Structure 1
Amino acid sequence: MSVLTRDEAQTRAQLLDVHHYTVDLDLTTGDETFESTSLVRFTARTAGDTFVELKPVTLHSATLDGKPLDPASLDGNRLPLTLTEGEHELRVRTTMRYSRTGEGMHRFTDPTDGESYVYTQLFMEDVQRVFAAFDQPDLKAVFELTVTAPEGWTVLANSLTERQDDGRWKAAPTPLLSTYFVCVAAGPWHSVRTEHAGLPFGIHCRRSLAAHLDADAEEILAVTRACYDRYHEKFDEPYPFDSYDQAFVPEFNAGAMENPGLVTFRDEFVFRSAVTDTERMTRAMVIAHEMAHMWFGDLVTLRWWDDIWLNESFAEYMGYQTVNEACSDLFADTWIDFGVTRKAWGYEADQRPSTHPVAPDPDAVPDTASALLNFDGISYAKGASALRQLVAWLGESDFLAGINIHFKRHKFGNATLADFIDNLAAATDRDVHGWAEQWLRTTGVDVLTPRLTGEGARWQLTVDRDGGRPHRVDAGVYDRDPSGALVLRERRALDVPQDGPAELTGPRPALVVLNDGDLTYAKLRFDKASEESVLRGLSRLPDPLTRAVVWNALRDMVRDGALAPGEYLEAARAHLTEERELALVQGVLGFARTQIADRYVAAEERPAALATLREIARALLRRTEDGDSPGLRLTAVRTLIDSATTPDQIASWLDEGTVHGGPELDPELRWRILARLAVLGATDEAAIAAELERDPSATGQEGAARCRAALPEAGAKAAAWSAMFDTDDLSNYLFTATARGFWQPEQAELVREYVTRFYPDAVALADRRGAAMAEAAGSYAFPAHAVDAAALALGESHLAGDTMIPALRRKLVDQLDDLRRALRVREA
C-alpha cells in the first residue's frame, strides 16, 4: 500500500476543492466484512490526473460522472482519476473488512454477553479502510452518513443521528471536516443522556459496563460541563458542532480521539475496579484534552502532519490547565501529576536518537508513515511544557488573545505553524517568532545547575545552563528550621541566561531549587549542599509541586548516571512513607519498580531493590489503616503484589478475597495477584481457568492471557509466542496482554532462546498486520528484561540489516537506546 507524500498532498490540494461526501454503510452483512458506498462531489480547478484512496476487500464498482471506471485499475490503495476542469461526482461501492487492531472499523464481541460493537478510528490514513476518500487533512468537506445496523443497535456519529422509518440511521450533515475526523460507533450501547447549554450531551459504553458507567456518570458529566463552560470563557468562538457525545469503546489503541461531536475513549476509563484519585484525575484531563481539540484540531486543523504538535501540545496544555481551573473541587493540582509522570515521558523521548523538534521542518515529515512516528512525548508533553513556558513568558491574557485571533482567522479551515505564530505575535509586542525558533525548532533538553558564591550574609546565585534555550524560572531558596523542615525564604524570578548573578540576602541557603513551580522544560541539577539537603529533607519541603520538581530531578540524575539507583531507593524509603500527595507516590514507585528494580540494578541486586519497595509499601499500609487515604493504600497494595518474591502473603489475600484491613479484592487486584503468582511459579492453568470463569469479561480474557504467558513453563512460553507471532488471531489488546506476561526478569534463562527470535518474528508480524501491531510488538513484546551487551549487539545488528516498516524501526531504535542507557547506569 502506498503512503501519501506531502508533495502529493500539496499537488492534490491545488487541483481539488472537495465539497461533500455522502457515505452509506451496511453493518448487517456478517462479522468479517461490511458494505460501503461513497458519493463524493468535488471541483477540479484544472484538468489533470489524481487518485482517490481506498483499501477494500472487493471494489464492486466505481463511476466518475456516471461513467464506469475499471475496478482492475485500483493500484494498491489508489484508484486513478483523470479529470476535466469543473464539477465532478465520484461514486464507489466496496466491501470492507472489519479490523481487530483498532484501525479503520474495529469490531469487538463482548465475551460477557455476546454483544458486538463497531467503531471507527480513521486517524492519519485509515478512512480508506471504511470508505473511498481524498484522504488528507486539508481537503475538508461536509459529510452525510447513513448506516444500516442490526436491530437493537444505536448508531452514533459526528452529528445528531436519527433512526429512519426504513430502519436505517441517518446523521445530520456536518460542518466542514477533515476526513480523519469522521466517526461512527454502533452497537447496543448503554447511554446516559443529558443537555447542557442547549446542546445534547451523552456518554455511552457497552452494556456489560452499564453499572460502572452509571456509578461514575455524574462525575464524568460534571467534568464535561465544567470544561465546556471554562472553554467558553477562554475562547471567543462557540463550540462548533450540534452535540457532544463521548463513547467509551473497547480495544482502543490510544487514550482517546477527538472526533468532532463524538469523542471516543478507551473503555478502561469506565472503571470497574477501585482506582485512585490520580487515575480519576487522568480521566478528567483526557476529557478536557479532547474537548480542547474541538477548537484546536477540529475547528482549525493542521494543513499537513508536520504540525501535529499544534493539535496535541495545545490540547495537552489546555487539558491540564483547564481541569486545574474548572475542577479544583474534585482534584488536586494537576500540574503535580504532569510534572512527575507526563513530563518525564517528554524528557525520555527528547534524549533518544529519534528525537525531533516539537515543530519539525516540513521536509522532515515527507509522508504519512514518517508523520505517524511523531506521536510521542515530544509532541505531547514537551510541547505542552513549551506552551506553559510561553504562557509564563507572554502572560495568559496575551496568549489567549492570540489563540482567539487564530480561531477567528482560520475557523473551519486549515492552518500552519507560521499562521499560529503570526496570530500570537498580533497580540503582543514580544518576539514570538524568535521564541518559536529557539523552543519549537530545536531538539534536546537543557540542563540548569545553580552555583552559589559568597560568604556570611551575602550570596550570589548564578544559573549555569547547558543548552541554548531561554528560560523564565522561579528559583526557590530554602532554609532549614530547628525542626529540620525546609522553609521557603523566597522565590526569585529569573531569566536564563542571566544579565548577572542574582543577589541573595541572608546566610547561605540550605537548598536552591531551580524551576520551582515547574514552569519550564529542562533537566535540573543541585549544588553539592542542596543535593545533600534534598536527600536528607525532601519530605520536609512544604509544596507538593516543589517535591515533584525535586523527584523529577532525582529521576533524571539516576538516568544520567549522576545518582546511584540505590541512593534513589534510599531517598524513597526515607521520604515516600511520609508523602501524602498521591501522584508523587504513584510516580516514584512506578519508576522505582519498572525501571530501577527491573533494569537499572544488576540481577544480584534486584532482590534487595524489591525488598525496599515492599518495605515502603508496608509502611504506607500501616499509615493508611485508619481508612482516610484509600488511594495511597491501593497504591501500596499494588506495589506489594508487583514486588512479591515469595507467594505466601499475596496467595493468602487471593484465597481470602481481601487484604487485611482492606481493600476487598476486586477483579483488577485478583488478576494482578494471579499474574504475580504465575511469575513466581505458584499457580497453574487450573487456577487461571477458574479465575476466568469467575470473571469472563474482556478484561478477564486479557488477564488470563497475561497469566498464561507468565507461567514459568516451556510449554506455556511456546504457546504464548505462537499466539503472538505465528497467527493473526489475537486482537490488539490480547496481543498486548500476552506480551506483558511473556518476559519476566525472574525467567531470563527460560526465555533466552526467544530473545533472538524476537527480531525476525516482529518484522514479519509488522509486515503482515501493520503499524498498530508493530507499535504493540515494539512496545510490549520487546525483551526489555535482557540488559546485557549481547542483547544490545543483537538488536543493533538487526536494526542495521533488517528491512522493517517505519513504525517498528522507530520503536526498536528507542528500545535499544533505553537498553544502552540501562547499561550505562549499571556501569556508573
Structure 2
Amino acid sequence: MPGENLTRVEAQERSSLVSTKSYEIELDLTTGDEVFRSTSTVTFSATAGASTFIDAITRTVHSVTLNGVELDAAAVADGTRIQLEGLAEQNVLTVVADHEYTNTGEGLHRFVDPVDGEVYLYSQFEVPDSRRVFAVFEQPDLKATFQFTVRAPGHWVVVSNSPSPEPVADGESKVFTFAPTPRISSYITAIVAGPYQSVHSELTSADGRTIPLGVYARASLFPYMDADYVFEKTRQGFTYFEEKFGVAYPFEKYDQLFVPEFNAGAMENAGAVTFTETYVFRSKVTDAIKERRVVTILHELAHMWFGDLVTMKWWNDLWLNESFAEWASTIATAEATEWTEAWTTFQAMEKSWAYRQDQLPSTHPVVATINDLEDVQVNFDGITYAKGGSVLKQLVAWVGQEAFFAGVSAYFRKHAWGNTELRDLLVELEAASGRELTEWSQKWLETAGVNTLRPEIETDADGVITSFAVMQSAPEDYPTIRPHRMAIGFYALQDESLERVHRLELDVDGERTEVPELVGQVKPDLVLLNDDDLAYAKIRLDDDSLAVAIEHLAGISSPLARAIVWGAVWDATRDAEAAPRDYVRLVLGNIATETESTTIRTTLTQLATVARMYVAPEHRDAVIAEVADGLWMLAQGAEAGSDAQFQFVKFFAAMASTPEHGRTLAGLRDGSIALDGLEIDTDLSWELLEGLALVGAATGAEIDAALEADNTSNGAQAAARARAAIDTAEAKRATFEHLVGDDTVPNAIVRMTTMGYLHVNDPARLEQLVEPYFAALHELWENRSYKIAEYLVLGLYPAPLASASLAEATRAWLDANPGIPALRRMVSENLAGVERALAAQERDRA
C-alpha cells in the first residue's frame, strides 16, 4: 500500500504540466480468473520537454508506446507508475498491461455466486483505483472523455457510463463498444459485467430528453429486486432535483446496479450507480433500512450534479461532494417521497455519527487537510458526510432555502464539467443571499469541534421568566465559538402529551446570547434548544426540562423533538455527565412507544454500547442480562408484525447472555415459541443463531448445517459472523489467526467476521489477543489493500475490554510508532473509544 500513495504536491505538479483530452480503453475480460488485459490509449497535451508519470497498478506491463516510440517497459514501469520523459506539446500514449481482479471491493472486483457458479464483476474506483483497471492520470482535476471497448463472455451484459451498445459477436465472446463519455473524472467511470438481470424504464427530463432507466442485480438475487419502487423513487428525485437545481440531468441514461460484496452503501459513477446488495431485501428488514435505501438512492442521484457534473479540484473538498449529497438527499426524501420524517432520521443517525466523530482526537475541519491519498481514504468519515451535511443544513437556515438553491443553480451553470474549490460555491451563495460568508466559512468549515448549547433561565415566584440566555461552550482543544441559526421551542403538558406552544427562531453567537423575547412568558414544562434541529451543536436541557422529558418522553408528539431529546441524553451519557445505568432505565422505560424506526435502531445500538462498555465492569453482567430481559418483554408486548416488535427481537438476539435467553432463541428458531406477526425468515434465523453462538448454545456444526441450507453469499457472510461469535477463547484466537494469516479472504467475509469477533458478553475472551493485535499492525498495513487493512485495524481491536490495561497498551504502541499517519489515526480513534468508556464507567460508580 505505501508504494501506491500519491501526494497533493505531486498531483499539483502533474496538473501544471499535463492537460488530458481523451482515453480509449480496451478491456478483455476473457483471459482467465486472475487477470484481464487492458489497453489504454491516452491523448493529452503537456509542457514540451516535461517529464511526469501516469498511474497503473499492474501485474505485467507488456508495452508502453509514447508518440509512436516503444519504451522499455521494464525500465519505465514499476507496477504502480509509468514514467514518461521528454513529452511533446501533444501526446498519445498507449499502454498494454495485465491487471489483477480483486476480491477487496477496490478496482475491478470479481465475485463467484455460490448459487450457480456465475461470475460477476463491478468496478469501484473512488478514491484512487481506476489505475487498477487502466493507465490513467489518477486525480480528479485531470478530466477527460472515456471511451470503453469491452470483450466479455457471450452470455454476459456489460454496463458503463455511456448507454450500452448492441454487442458484436466474436466467437464465444461479445464485444461492447461504448460511445465516449462527457469530460469527467476517472474515479466516476465504471465497468459492470456479468450475467446480470435487469428491468428497464424511462423518464422525461426537464429539457425534454428521454432518459433510459435500468435496474440490475445478479440472477440468484433478482427475484427479490423491487425495481418498480426503485424507479418510483428515482423519478421523484429527478423531478425534485431538476426543479430545485435549475439544471437538467447532465448524462444520457441512468442505471442503478446492485452488486455483490460492496464496501460502501453506493457509488456515484456517472449514469451507472452501484449499490450494496444489502438494499435487495430477500428477508424482512426494518423500516430504518427501507428509508435508508431511499436516502441512498437520492444521495447518489444528487451526485450527478454535485460531484459528477461539477467536481472538486482536490480531495480536501471531498465534502463538497458528500456533504451536499447528504443534505440534498435528506431534504428530497422529506419533501418528495412518503418518508416525510427524513430529518428525524438525519438527527437520530447522521448527527449522532457527526458528534461522535467530531469528538475524536482525529477530528478535522469539514474542509480537511489532505496531503495524500492515505489522508483522503480515512476522511470518508462522519465529518465529511454527517457533520458536513449538518453544517449545510445550518447554512441553508443562515441564508434561506430559496437563496441557497438559487446559488447552487448558478454554481452548476457556471462550473459545468469543470473543477472547483470551496470559494467558488460561496461566491454564488453570497450573490444569491446577500450574506457575507467568509467569516461563516472560517468558523464552520475550516475549524474542528462541536459546540454545546445550554439554556440559562431565571424565573420569579410565579414561574414567569425574568432572564433567558443561551450559553455556548467549546472544547479546550477546539475553542471556536460559532454563530448558530436555531430555534427555541416551548412545550407544555396537555394531558399526557407534550405539545409545542411557542417557537422562536434567532441567531445565537458568542458565549452568552440574551433572549429578551422570552422574558415575561411563563416557563413551560419543557424548554428545547435547537428545536427543529437547525443547528449543529450538542444541547443540554435545564434540570426541570430534563426531568419532564424523561418522565414524558413518549408524550412528545413531534418525532423530531423526541429524537433531539434522545440525542441530548445520549450525549450527556457519552460525556460522562449522566450515569450509564440511568440511560439503560430511560431506554427500557420509553422505547416501547417510539414510532420512528431509525430512532429505535440508533437508540438500541447505543443501549448495547452502554451495557457492554459504559457500565462499570462489576455491574456489566447484570445489566446485559437486564437489557436482554427488557428487550424480550418489549418484543412480547409490541404490536403484532410491527417494526418495533421486529427490532426488539433482533436486539434481544444480539444482547442474549443467559441460558434462559438461549432457550428462548432456540424456541423462536425452531418454532416452539412464537410471537404473533413475527416470521422467522432466513436472515432473522441467522441472527438468532448468532445469539445462540454468543451464549454457548450453538456449535460450528450447527452453523455449517445452516450454511448448507442457505448456500448463498448472504449465508456465507452470516455463517462467518456467527462462527466468529462463538463464545470461547479458542474460537476467538482461531478467528484472529485466520483473518491475520489468510490474505485471500474476500472483503465481505472479513467485515462480517470482525463483527462476530467483537460480539462478546465476556470481554476477557479477547485479553489474550491484545499483544498479537499490536504485533500484527505493521504487516497488515504494509501488505493488505487499504480497505482490508481498515477492516482489520478497526475490527480486530479488542475494544469490548474497555480497560485501563488496553488503553495503556494502545498508548504504548502509539508512542513507539510515530510514522504512518493514517494507521495512527485509526489506532488513536480506537484508544479514544476506550478512554470514553473508562470515564463513563467511573461515572457509573458515582
TM-score if structure 2 supplies the norm length?
0.94
Q: Distance in 2 between matches of 1:509 and 1:625?
A: 33
Give the letter for the 1:168 counterpart.
Answer: V
Partner of 2:621: 607
User: Any conservation in 1 of the 2:766–2:801 contact (CA below 8 Å)?
Assistant: no
Shift of 1:172: 1.6
Give 3-state SS (helix, strand or coil) of 1:437's partner: helix
Are 1:485 and 2:497 counterparts?
Answer: yes
Map 1:105-124; keep pairs closer than 5 Å: 105-124=108-127
Map 1:119-158; keep pairs closer than 5 Å: 119-158=122-161
Partner of 1:303: 313
Give the letter for the 1:255 counterpart.
Answer: G
User: Any conservation in 1 of the 2:326–2:389 contact (CA below 8 Å)?
Assistant: yes
Give 3-state SS (helix, strand or coil) of 2:27's partner: strand
Shift of 1:614: 3.3
User: Any conservation in 2 of the 1:774–1:807 contact (CA below 8 Å)?
Assistant: no
Are 1:291 and 2:298 counterparts?
Answer: no
**392, 401, 406: which one aligns with 1:396:** 401
Partner of 2:70: 68
**313, 316, 328: which one aligns with 2:326:** 316
Matched-pair identity in %:
39
Distance 1:460 1:615, change over 3 A: farther
Q: Distance in 2 between matches of 1:141 and 1:356?
A: 32
Partner of 2:548: 533
Q: Distance in 1 between matches of 2:501 and 2:94?
A: 72
Q: Distance in 1 between matches of 2:821 and 2:705?
A: 41
Partner of 2:374: 369
Please identify, of 134-143 and 712-721, the stretch whose mean Cα deviation from structure 2 is larger: 712-721
Distance 1:205 1:310, change over 3 A: same
Could you tell me which runs of 5 or more consecutive residues in structure 1 were left unpaired when the two chains were aligned.
Answer: none
Partner of 2:256: 246
Q: Distance in 1 between matches of 2:129 and 2:526?
A: 53
Partner of 1:354: 362
Give 3-state SS (helix, strand or coil) of 1:375's partner: coil
User: Any conservation in 1 of the 2:576–2:839 contact (CA below 8 Å)?
Assistant: yes
User: Any conservation in 1 of the 2:488–2:505 contact (CA below 8 Å)?
Assistant: yes
Give 3-state SS (helix, strand or coil) of 2:689's partner: helix
Q: Distance in 2 between matches of 1:271 and 1:226?
A: 21
User: Any conservation in 2 of the 1:445–1:523 contact (CA below 8 Å)?
Assistant: yes
Shift of 1:615: 4.5
Q: Distance in 2 between matches of 1:658 and 1:155?
A: 48
User: Any conservation in 1 of the 2:242–2:248 contact (CA below 8 Å)?
Assistant: yes
Give the letter for the 1:236 counterpart.
Answer: G
Q: Distance in 2 between matches of 1:4 and 1:441?
A: 24
Shift of 1:254: 1.0
Give the letter for the 1:719 counterpart.
Answer: A
Distance 1:95 1:748, change over 3 A: same
**577, 580, 586: which one aligns with 1:565:** 580
User: Any conservation in 1 of the 2:38–2:133 contact (CA below 8 Å)?
Assistant: yes
Deviations 1:499-529 (A, max 9, x none): 5544344432222110010111000011111
Give 3-state SS (helix, strand or coil) of 2:281's partner: coil
Give the letter for the 1:782 counterpart.
Answer: Y
Partner of 2:193: 186
Q: Distance in 1 between matches of 2:527 and 2:30?
A: 66
Shift of 1:18: 0.7
Shift of 1:480: 2.7
Q: Distance in 1 between matches of 2:649 and 2:406?
A: 47
Distance 1:458 1:751, change over 3 A: closer
**734, 754, 760: which one aligns with 2:749:** 734
Partner of 2:336: 326
User: Any conservation in 2 of the 1:36–1:131 contact (CA below 8 Å)?
Assistant: yes
Map 1:654-673; keep pairs closer than 5 Å: 654-656=669-671, 659-673=674-688
Q: Distance in 1 between matches of 2:526 and 2:337?
A: 33
**709, 729, 738: which one aligns with 1:723:** 738
Shift of 1:613: 2.9
**382, 389, 408: which one aligns with 1:384:** 389
Give 3-state SS (helix, strand or coil) of 2:761's partner: helix
Are 1:9 and 2:24 counterparts?
Answer: no
Shift of 1:639: 1.6
Partner of 1:209: 221
Give the letter for the 1:621 counterpart.
Answer: A
Give the letter for the 2:839 counterpart.
Answer: R
Q: Distance in 2 between matches of 1:140 and 1:744?
A: 45
Please identify, of 799-808 and 536-545, the stretch whose mean Cα deviation from structure 2 is larger: 799-808
Shift of 1:619: 4.5
Shift of 1:621: 2.7
Q: Distance in 1 between matches of 2:152 and 2:88?
A: 38
Could you tell me which runs of 5 or more consecutive residues in structure 2 were left unpaired when the two chains were aligned.
Answer: 205-209, 475-480
Shift of 1:165: 4.1
Q: Distance in 2 between matches of 1:256 and 1:683?
A: 35
Q: Distance in 2 between matches of 1:572 and 1:263?
A: 38
Give the letter for the 2:213 counterpart.
Answer: F
Distance 1:750 1:587, change over 3 A: closer
TM-score if structure 1 supplies the norm length?
0.96
Q: Distance in 2 between matches of 1:529 and 1:723?
A: 54
Deviations 1:35-94 (A, max 9, x none): 111000111143311111111100000000110111122235121112344211000000
Q: Distance in 1 between matches of 2:525 and 2:87?
A: 77
Shift of 1:131: 0.6
Map 1:537-552; keep pairs closer than 5 Å: 537-552=552-567
Partner of 1:462: 469
Q: Distance in 2 between matches of 1:104 and 1:659?
A: 46
Partner of 1:760: 775
Give the letter for the 1:638 counterpart.
Answer: K
Shift of 1:486: 2.4
Q: Distance in 2 between matches of 1:644 and 1:527?
A: 36
Are 1:195 and 2:174 counterparts?
Answer: no
Shift of 1:624: 3.2
Partner of 2:50: 48
Give 3-state SS (helix, strand or coil) of 1:398's partner: helix
Deviations 1:462-482 (A, max 9, x none): 10011311011111112234x
Q: Distance in 2 between matches of 1:287 and 1:706?
A: 28
Give 3-state SS (helix, strand or coil) of 1:746's partner: coil
Q: Distance in 2 between matches of 1:611 and 1:713?
A: 19
Map 1:410-559; keep pairs closer than 5 Å: 410-455=415-460, 456=462, 457-467=464-474, 468-481=481-494, 483-497=495-509, 498=513, 500-559=515-574
Deviations 1:369-416 (A, max 9, x none): 212221100010101011101111111111011101111111001000
Give the letter for the 1:320 counterpart.
Answer: T
Partner of 2:638: 624
Q: Distance in 2 between matches of 1:585 and 1:749?
A: 30
Give the letter for the 1:800 counterpart.
Answer: D
Shift of 1:279: 1.0
Shift of 1:626: 4.2
Give the letter for the 1:22 counterpart.
Answer: E
Q: Distance in 2 between matches of 1:458 and 1:785?
A: 46
Shift of 1:538: 1.4
Partner of 1:751: 766
Partner of 2:477: none
Please identify, of 499-508 and 216-225, the stretch whose mean Cα deviation from structure 2 is larger: 499-508
Q: Distance in 2 between matches of 1:542 and 1:16?
A: 59
Map 1:199-238; keep pairs closer than 5 Å: 199-213=211-225, 216-238=226-248
Shift of 1:458: 4.1
User: Any conservation in 2 of the 1:569–1:612 contact (CA below 8 Å)?
Assistant: no
Q: Distance in 2 between matches of 1:728 and 1:811?
A: 20
Q: Distance in 1 between matches of 2:832 and 2:230?
A: 39
Give 3-state SS (helix, strand or coil) of 1:297's partner: coil
Give 3-state SS (helix, strand or coil) of 1:83's partner: coil
User: Any conservation in 2 of the 1:641–1:672 contact (CA below 8 Å)?
Assistant: yes
User: Any conservation in 1 of the 2:612–2:624 contact (CA below 8 Å)?
Assistant: no
Q: Distance in 2 between matches of 1:505 and 1:539?
A: 29
User: Any conservation in 2 of the 1:771–1:808 contact (CA below 8 Å)?
Assistant: no
Give the letter for the 1:261 counterpart.
Answer: G
